Structure 1
Amino acid sequence: METSAVSRGVRELEERVGLSIFERSHRGVTTSAAGVIYLGGVREALDLLERVEATARSVGAGKSGLLRIGFVWSFAFGPIVRLLEEMRRVQPEIEVQLVEDGPDQLIARLHDGKLDVVLTAIEPEGHVPSRPIGQVSRLTLWNERLLAALPASEGKAAVSWGDLAEQKLLCRHADDFRGFTAFIESTGGPTLRFFPQDCSREGLLGFVAAGHGWTIVPESLRECDVHGIALIPIDSANAALRVELLWRSESNNPAVHAFIKLAKKMRTRPGFSPGA
């Protein structure tokens, strides 16, 4: 650019901002005190703009951003942990936030936009879900066998739904025990008696270990060593649930699509499912 054009551009800038950025004399041109402050601020603004643009490009490409995952307690172990580990390895800039709650509450948060994806379990193929899931996209990840959790002192090797129907079954209020009971009855099984408790899952398992009842847990919980509890197979073909990943079809969060892409890849790997 010619010197005259540069000079004209500088003067136009000075007129626009209302200050003299440079001091001119017979000795040459120097930056004024006001100019030092102004140019320093401009440099900071340009640096910030570059960082904002880089962050926006990263988020847009699904390489960073925020991913809010809802899950029921039963998936605090097993394949979901391996999926989150792989997510951290391949997408370390994506911040993951976890919300643990009952399935109905999680699905409500998903519909309200307070969660990006939900990991939940529904009845196996061939059975109508006991609760509506709504208009969301769904991806089946694995089948989760169910186990009976009972005091280790019981010394049992296997139990049936009939055995469970004779027991006081513990659960949390957020658990979908009514829907699960209806599912077992729909397959010709007995009516199970659940007694909801206002406690954490750890507290619930401690209650079982102390002999105050039994509960039903997923096979993934085998990876958690709980003192005083035996995890016993339920002798029934329908003692299983299908684990699915749910997300809003209209979601425009690139981190969601990156997570779904990874989940599709992980579910085909040997050893991903419980018991594999």
Structure 2
Amino acid sequence: MRVLLTGWASFLHGEATAGDVLGLRAAGAALAAAGIDHDVAWSPAFRPGTLHLGAAPPGDYTHVVFACGPVHGPQLRELHERYSACRRIAVGVSVPDPDDAAVTGFHRILPRDDATTSAPDLSLSAATSPAPVLGVVLAPRQPEYGTAGRHDEVHDALTGWLAGLDCARVSLDSRLAHEDWQRCATPDQFVTTLSRMDVVVTTRLHGLVLGLKAGVPVVAVDPISGGGKVTVQGHVLGWPVVSASGAGDRALLDDRLAWCLSPRGRARAVTGVPGPESTLAGLVGELVGSR
């Protein structure tokens, strides 16, 4: 017996959701625990360099297992045609239309839900590992800096670095809105959100300032060539800031992130930074003196 384990994340034009990939992981772990030889097929668009369906000859397998997700559509029907000589089993799937050829092509279905059956989702039994949570706050273009602004270049380098990290990335926007559910309506909500992050990665002045206000270490990158307000604020607060020219230095970014995730980095953020009391006192003094 040799099994080819498949799912929606196996198709070139499929979709790799966290739940479906965990379903594949759970099914693979069950097969491994039972001593059943198996391979997992991945979409080359999702995991290049791994086994994909085009490189998994039907003659190499006795069984095809399709794990998690809805059973429908032409891609599943093509899977049945390609592996017609294999016994085909679906597990942990939803069956919206029992008469669909994508459904009837299976020899056996162990459903997650159909007209008569309901069962817990496969992802519940899959092992997962914790990953650091990075809140990402990127600045829009800032025309006041003219040609010194390198936002596109800096953000391309920074997001390319982020995409290669083993971390949970949360895109955050410091702009507030009362009618847009994707944004915070108050600064209190935004600072609370930042406080739930392990690290903040930002090219915005207030990403740096409010991250530290929330007690969270910050990987701050200044998108202005020669240094702008992020660099100045970092100097005032005693917090390191990566220059625009350093945004493409992944070793430097890795080093800054590692320090932020370390006990030392967390402790440094939690101890707080200088406040603007003298500036506020100056404002009050100016107003009082002008009476």
Determine if the TM-score, normalized by the shorter chain, exceeds 0.5.
no
TM range (shorter): under 0.3
* TM-score between both structures, scaled by the size of structure 2: 0.22
Name whichever structure is richer in strand by fraction: 1
Looking at CA atoms only, which structure, 1 or 2, has the larger radius of gyration? 1
Higher normalized contact order (CA 8 Å, seq sep 6+, divided by chain length): 1
